[in-house]
Structure formats: structure tokens, C-alpha cells
Structure 1
Amino acid sequence: MKLIFLPSVLLVISNVHAFLYNELVQYIDSHKEEYVEVLRDWVEVESDSSDVLRRSDLHRMMEITAQKLRSLGGNVELVDIGEQELLDGQTLALPKVVTAQFGNDPDKTTVCIYGHVDVQPAKMEDGWDTDPYNLTDLGGNLYGRGASDNKAPVLAWIHAVEAYQALSMELPVNVKFVIEGMEETGSNGLDAMILAQQDTFFSDVDYIIISDCSWLSRRPALTYGTRGNTYFFAEVEGPNKDLHSGVYGGTVIEPMTDLIGILDTLISPSGKILIPGIREAVAPLSDEEWKMYQDIEFDIDDYKSKIGVSQLMYNNKVDLLAHRWRYPTVSIHGIEGAFSASGSKTVIPAKVTAKFSIRQVPNMDPAMVKKQVTDYLHSVFAKRKSPNKLKVTMIIGAKPWLADPSHPLYEAGKVAVKRVFGVEPDLIREGGTIPIARTFQDVTGKSIIMLPIGGFDDGLHSQNEKISRYNYVEGTKLFATYLNEVAQIKRSKV
């Protein structure tokens, strides 16, 4: 049964919403410089989760996040999620997960906002034009590591709640936060925490919102799918020490030669994955998907220009988007143990380790991919008849996530985007991986939406990462507006 509103009542509700929106917009606009300064403080913390030497900075980042939420009067906890075992067998404390709650009205919808405050590695010598840990305001953009991924979106959500409070407006929904510090390295420990709290912290959650993603173009977007990720180390070990190529070259079977040889069998020059069983597991592209991709705003020439290439794997929009979002890919990321410094060094490395990943899509399973990759590389290596030793290890096995873009959460997103930006959003998928989305879906059974505010050219994981002032401030308005629109979903039910 649905509630029925008379037209006059609907008009009153609409006018109230407009008044609330205008008040929120004015407040957010008047505090935008303050928002930039808070982001500056957060970017300054080198919360690189991949660098164990930065773990103290990561712990400090979690404390800063918790304190920010406490300052708004939230019920905040720092949840211990245990230890991380390093490759050398040592253990290291994982950063605690920050949880917070604002409101507990049982008659209201409860949303849970997920984000992370750890970042990818960044150094000036990597090619940054500015200090990656000193937020730099240039041309309307705020440059710094983590600015877009994911510190500004986390802050935008916090500022949205803060705006309601500052104006003495009642939050239209109960709001919970889950903010972690290990997303960039696979969300270690978070799966177990969610499982442990599914009947407590998550028991009254209706919907989960994630803003750890970006628009595809200059048009705002709503994201309904992400790829998963399996990350591999392939180690080839030979002599018991590094050797001089002039003395030993031509007499030993070199580990580097073996490693490059097997890497070359992973993928063809045209991008075809050569590992048996991978492509066969992929869900076929439906006619409905093809139509959705056809309607999305995306400029191939602009895409090429942005990344500085003259040619792409595919020349039409649908094929390119499909292979970016919903087909698996193999990427080789680096070789540890190889000589990589400037200058020349005539060394034969005794042990080298390749790092590569395969992005997962429906209906692939990480456990099966691990077996397929391991068996395949060992079979290829065996054909080389090398005396060296091969070891294949999968260190990340994150599943893909897919939502229903016709769910009311997405309809509410369309309304909020239209109100703030004046345009209809694109419905898109994401080529990257947000491991926790699938966990939330599987463990809690809650519906999820990804609501991005990051720009298409923000340079996530790359040099000169940034978020524009416009996206940061207008994104805060979007989040404040979306909380109100989500509240209307429950109003239509009895």
C-alpha cells in the first residue's frame, strides 16, 4: 500500500524541500574555503597503506578522521581489526576502522557511507609538478595525493552532515560512516569486521553509499558496477647472488630472461588474454548493455588526448567502454629485483619478481583465476626447461560488484544530480576495483549505490592527482541533497 498525497500537500512538501536546499547551498558556499583548508590538513598526512614505514602516519590519519566526526557529536568508535602479516613473516597492526552514527530514529531510513583515507604512493621524482603532500591550489584545481581518491569525497560527506547540523535542520535520514585505512592494498581486515558486525552496526542499515569513484566525462554520473582484481607475484630465482654479465653472461640461464619469457605469454599485442579459461568465464554483453553504452557521453579523441596516446585498443565507444568496464584485462606493473636506477649496471639479477594483475568481471571467480594463472605459468615455464625456480603467488583476490541501475537508490541519485548540476547523470560502470562493495553486498544483503564526485581527469593513482574546487563544493551539495532524496524512498511505503 502506498501513501497518497493531495496536490496541495505535495506542493507544500516541494516548497519545504526547495527552502531546505537553498539554505544548505548558501551554507556550503559560505564555508568552501574552510573545506579546502580541512582537505589541505588531510592531504598533508602521508597515509600510504602500501608503505609499512608510513604505518604511524596511517594510524594518525584514522585518529584525525575519528576526531572530525566526534566534533560533530557523532557516536564514534575506532574498531580494532587485527594485524597484517608481511611477506617476511613479521606482523604489523592494521589501522583501526572508524565507525560513526548520527541519528537512530527507527522511523527513518538509515544509510551507511563508506570511504577510505589511505592513499597510493607518491613522490616528486615520480613526475609530480607539485609536492604531492602539500595541497596546491592552481587554476581551480586542488592538487595532492588522495585529494580525489578518497579524502575529498569523505570530507564532502562529513561536511554535508555538518551543514544540516549548523542550520539546526534535522537530518532526513540516520547516517552511519565506515571509513577504513587499507583500501589501496585490498581492505585487509575489513571483510572480517563487516561479518562480525552484520547483526549489530549494520543491522538497521537500509542502504550503503560509496563515493570512491569518478565521473566518466564532464557529465555527472552514477556508478552501478566495478571490476574486481586478482594481483599476482611471479618470482623466478636462479643463482645464489647477483652476477657480473661480463663474467657469467652466456654461461647461466638468467632469471630475468625466464621471467620476461613467461610474461610475454599472458596477453597478445591486440589485448587478448591467452590464459585458458579466463575469457570463457565472462558474462556476455547484452543488447540492453550495448544500448546503455551507446547513450553515454564519452569522447574518444578527448580520452586519447588526456592520456597522451595516438592509438587505443578499440576505435568505437561501445567496444572501448565495454573493455574498460566489463571485460577482464591483464596489466603488468613492474619487476622487483631488476636494475631500475639511472645509469648503467651490468648485473644479472639472481631473483626477479614480476607484479601483474587481472581485473575480474562477472562471472569470474578469483579462486579459479588463481588456479588458472598458476597452472598456466608453470606449464609455460616447464617448456623452457630452465633450472631456475618459479613461484606464483596471488596476494589480492577481489570480486567484481554489480547493482541494478533501476533501483530507487539510482532514481534518487538522478533527482539529486538534476537539482544540483541541472543535467541527467550518465549511468556507468567502473574499470577499477572497490573490494568492499562486493563484501557489503554479500554479507549485509543491502542495496548499494556508488555516487561519485571525482572528475574524469583527476588522475587517480597517477601523478598530479587533483580534485577541482567545483566538484568538491558542488559534490558536498549533491551529498546533502541526496540524503533528502533517499529519505523519500521510504515515504512511498507503509
Structure 2
Amino acid sequence: MAPQLDPFFQKVDELKQPFIERLREAVAIQSVSAQAESRPDVVKMGHWVADQLKTLGAEVELRELGKEPGREHLDLPPVVLARYGSDPKKRTILVYGHYDVQPAEKEDGWATEPFDLTVDEQGRMFGRGSTDDKGPVLGWINIIDAHKQAGVEFPVNLLCCFEGMEEFGSLGLEEFVKAEGPKYFKDTDAVCISDNYWLGTEKPCLTYGLRGCNYYSLTISGPGQDLHSGVFGGTAHEPMTDLVTLLAKLVDCQGNILIPGIKELIAPVTDDEQGLYDAITYSMDDFHISLGSETSIMPTKEGTLMRRWRFPSLSIHGVEGAYSAPGCKTVIPAKVLGKFSIRTVPNMQSEDVTRLVTEFINAEAAKLQTKNKIEVALMHDGKCIPITLTFEEATGKNVLLLPMGSSTDAPHSINEKLDTRNYIEGTKLLGAYLHYVAEEPLN
């Protein structure tokens, strides 16, 4: 073990409570990137992260990305760039994270207020963004803090790139990173991202591949305004009926994608690859714990992991325009928008997937003999965590995904949490990574 790790580890333990309070402050800022009304809070969060880094002595820049495409009245939140150390004798490590979060409302089923970090007796810290990705982002900040307070020399030059639009497709970031590859990131020796999770709950893991994501909207409109079902029910083509019918044709209840041609895009499974799954430390009990139920489709560990990693999936996420508040309302919505995504795997190209999706929906729409207008559109796509491959291409360096949270953290869901143990020990892990990578010879 690197000799300076012991005092660093000890200081992290001593700073446990201040680090939790730092996360509490971060969670309280409702930085929901998808919601226009929350954009000021996303910007506020970016400035908060910048101030945390400045206070610790980092050189910080806030880079603006311009207007949001399609919503030009909204400014994209800034990218927070930071440099801590510039010693030419040290390796330079670039770390990436995001400070925006998914939407969350208490009424969704949260047991606690989603933007008020709540720590239970088991040390579970509940709050939106606690594990995805504010906890890991603060892990890097905590590392700097602990080194300073322990009087331990920082082992590397640290570059930080923290964005505020990851949960809405990382808009504007790909072009930014490519442009800064030969500039701000030019002396990068390696890239580390902590925006993923352990496979289970006990054993840490390294991630070397991720499924991509194509996200689509399906918009159906007809009447000139919302209608009363007591007057117009049964007399006009209803957009909601068409939408539900079409969404039901995309995927079956066993998770099989029903769009012709999708299977043919997938890279074949080799015998060597098939043989890897048996030795993986994981069980269906682990999976059921992370589900919070026993509603698994596949009966075996191997089948579940292949569905999770190796094969594409299609998920239906929501409907805009329909009545969703409590109680009854007998309205026929004039326009509805359904949202679904396809997780893509090796050999699947975004343009091929979109072509097959569009052709299939248009063909099925024709069968409905509806007079409503039906439009399908790609909202955003990416080969993995949207920016991972871009960093690799822009820097020419390897990208390591080093998770902090566990499989039971429920990112994007209700009651998202990060275990205190994972937060504190994860901070140590990220710090240890920097120490060990510092011992490798420079190129």
C-alpha cells in the first residue's frame, strides 16, 4: 500500500460527518436538468460545485455551452472545469461527473422528501442525486479536502470536468470535449468516471462496457382541443387510444423487442463469451434485492446478466399530455406524447435502429386506419454514458469506470440512496486509485 494512504484514510474517517453535510447541501439543490423551471437550480448547482473546488484551492473555470436546442429560451448549464496541481513530474488524471439529477416528487412514492438528505439507522442516505451522481462527484472534492487537512501531498495533477445535462443527453458536451481535447485536456494521462454501480452489494467491480441508449418520442394529435368524453366519446379518433395501441406493439411482457430487424443488428454471442457468466459473483437474490421484488423475467443469473448487459432492451417511460393527477377527469386529450428508449449493444448503429423503429411505427400506424397525426422522433442517442467514448477519442487515453454506489441504490427511481459506508469507503477508493496510478511511469 502506498505509504501516504494511511493518514489519508484516517482523515477521511475523521471527516465523515462534514462530508455527509456537504452531500446534504448538494442534494438540497434541485438540479433537475429535464425541467425548464428547474434550470436556474441546475445553474446554481454548477456554481456551488465550482465554489467548493475554489475554496480548496483549485483553479476553476465555468464554461458556457450556449442555448438548448429546441428550447432556445433556456441556457445550457455551465461545464465546471477545475485543475488541482500542475506538477510536470506528476501524472495528470481527468475525472468526469455530473451535477444534474432526475426529476423527483414526494408524491411519486418517496418515503422521505427527495431533496432533503435523510440518513436512517442503517446509514442509508436517501435523496435524489445521492448516488447518481452527486455523491461520486463530491468524492473527488472530498479527496482534495482530506489530503489538505491531513497534510498529505496530492499524488497527481487532477483535472475535473463536471456537467449539468447528463440526465438529459449531455447536450453540448460532446462538441465541447472534442474541442478541448488538444487544449484543456491535452496533458491527460488517464480518464476516470464514477457514474455507475457495483454489480451486487458486497463486492466492488470495474465496468469495461455499457449499453447505449436511443431515446424516442411518439406524438399523436388529432382534435383541435381536449374533448369531453360524454359528448365526443366514440365519435372521434382518440390520440390516447392510438398511442397505447402503438406502444403495446413495441415490446411484449417478457421483455422481447417486437420491432422486426432489431435482432439481426446484434453481434453474435461467442462460446468464450457465454462461458464467462458462470464465474461472476452474483445471484438472483442480489437481483431481487435491487428490484425490491421478485418480478424478474429470467429464472437464472446467467440469463438475467445477459439481458442486462449483452442484449438490447426496450422500455416505455411515460406519457405527456394525459391526465395524471389524483382523482377522475373524463377528458379526451387532444395531443399525447409517449416516450420510450432502446438500450443498444455491440454492432447496433443508432441510424439503423432509428430507421427500423420509424418504419415499424409508420407501418403499424397505417393499420390503425386513424385520422390522427402520428410522428416518431429520436430525442437523443449515445453509445454508453453519453460522454465516455468521446473522452477516449478526444484524449487518446483509456477511460476507467470506477463505481462508488451499490446495486441497491435505486438511481432514477424513488427512494434513491447511497450507503454511508460506500460514500466514505468509496472516497478512500477513489483516493487510493490516484495514489496507485501515480506510481506508474510517465509515458
TM range (shorter): over 0.9
Kindly report which structure 2 residues correspond to 1:248-263, keeping only aligned pairs within 5 A, or say none.
248-263=232-247
Out of 88, 100, 121, the position equivalent to 1:106 is 88
**CA contact 2:8–2:152 (8 Å) conserved in 1:** no
Kindly report which structure 2 residues correspond to 1:475-494, keeping only aligned pairs within 5 A, or say none.
475-490=426-441
Kindly report which structure 2 residues correspond to 1:25-40, keeping only aligned pairs within 5 A, or say none.
25-40=9-24
Kindly report which structure 2 residues correspond to 1:94-493, keeping only aligned pairs within 5 A, or say none.
94-139=76-121, 140-218=123-201, 219-400=203-384, 434-490=385-441
Q: Partners of 2:269 and 2:86 in 1: how far apart?
A: 42
Q: Partners of 1:118 and 1:311 in 2: how far apart?
A: 30
Worse-matched range after superposition: 288-297 or 233-242: 288-297
CA offset digits 1:5-55 (Å, max 9, x no partner): xxxxxxxxx6xx2x3121111111111111011111111111111111111
Out of 23, 29, 33, the position equivalent to 2:7 is 23
Worse-matched range after superposition: 475-484 or 282-291: 282-291
Q: Partners of 1:304 and 1:321 in 2: how far apart?
A: 13
**CA contact 2:163–2:170 (8 Å) conserved in 1:** yes
- Please, which runs of 5 or more residues in structure 2 have no aligned partner? none
- Residue 23 of structure 1 aligns with an amino acid whose one-letter code is P
**1:435 is paired with a residue of what secondary structure?**
coil
Tell me the residue number matched to 1:81: 65
Q: CA offset at residue 269 of structure 1?
A: 2.9
**CA contact 1:62–1:117 (8 Å) conserved in 2:** yes
Q: Partners of 1:278 and 1:443 in 2: how far apart?
A: 30
CA offset digits 1:432-454 (Å, max 9, x no partner): xx111122123332200100010
Q: Partners of 1:472 and 1:288 in 2: how far apart?
A: 36
Count of aligned pairs: 441
Tell me the residue number matched to 1:65: 49
Identical pairs, percent: 44
Q: Partners of 1:386 and 1:465 in 2: how far apart?
A: 41
**CA contact 2:260–2:356 (8 Å) conserved in 1:** yes
- Residue 466 of structure 1 aligns with an amino acid whose one-letter code is K
Tell me the residue number matched to 1:405: none
- Residue 106 of structure 2 aligns with an amino acid whose one-letter code is M
Q: Partners of 1:30 and 1:348 in 2: how far apart?
A: 59
Q: CA offset at residue 81 of structure 1?
A: 1.1
**1:226 is paired with a residue of what secondary structure?**
coil
**CA contact 2:259–2:356 (8 Å) conserved in 1:** yes
- Residue 137 of structure 1 aligns with an amino acid whose one-letter code is V
TM-score by length of 2: 0.96
Q: Partners of 1:442 and 1:294 in 2: how far apart?
A: 33
Worse-matched range after superposition: 35-44 or 269-278: 269-278
- Residue 323 of structure 2 aligns with an amino acid whose one-letter code is F
Worse-matched range after superposition: 472-481 or 287-296: 287-296
Q: Partners of 1:450 and 1:195 in 2: how far apart?
A: 20
Q: CA offset at residue 189 of structure 1?
A: 1.0
CA offset digits 1:82-104 (Å, max 9, x no partner): 11034xx5421111100111222
- Residue 94 of structure 1 aligns with an amino acid whose one-letter code is L
Question: Quick one: structure 1 residues 464 and 106, their matched pair in 2 at CA, closer, same or farther if it must change by over 3 Å?
Answer: same
Worse-matched range after superposition: 269-278 or 123-132: 269-278
- Please, which runs of 5 or more residues in structure 1 have no aligned partner? 1-13, 401-433
**CA contact 1:230–1:359 (8 Å) conserved in 2:** yes
Q: CA offset at residue 461 of structure 1?
A: 0.8
Worse-matched range after superposition: 345-354 or 303-312: 303-312
Question: Quick one: structure 1 residues 308 and 107, their matched pair in 2 at CA, closer, same or farther if it must change by over 3 Å?
Answer: closer
Q: CA offset at residue 319 of structure 1?
A: 1.3
Q: CA offset at residue 306 of structure 1?
A: 4.2
- Residue 51 of structure 1 aligns with an amino acid whose one-letter code is Q
Q: Partners of 2:228 and 2:386 in 1: how far apart?
A: 43
Q: Partners of 1:450 and 1:378 in 2: how far apart?
A: 39
Question: Quick one: structure 1 residues 198 and 363, their matched pair in 2 at CA, closer, same or farther if it must change by over 3 Å?
Answer: same
Q: Partners of 2:261 and 2:440 in 1: how far apart?
A: 42
- Residue 450 of structure 1 aligns with an amino acid whose one-letter code is L
**CA contact 2:27–2:127 (8 Å) conserved in 1:** yes
Q: Partners of 1:471 and 1:308 in 2: how far apart?
A: 20
Whether 2:34 is the aligned partner of 1:50: answer yes
**CA contact 1:75–1:100 (8 Å) conserved in 2:** yes
Worse-matched range after superposition: 188-197 or 275-284: 275-284
Alignment RMSD (CA, Å): 1.6
Q: CA offset at residue 270 of structure 1?
A: 2.5
Q: CA offset at residue 108 of structure 1?
A: 2.3
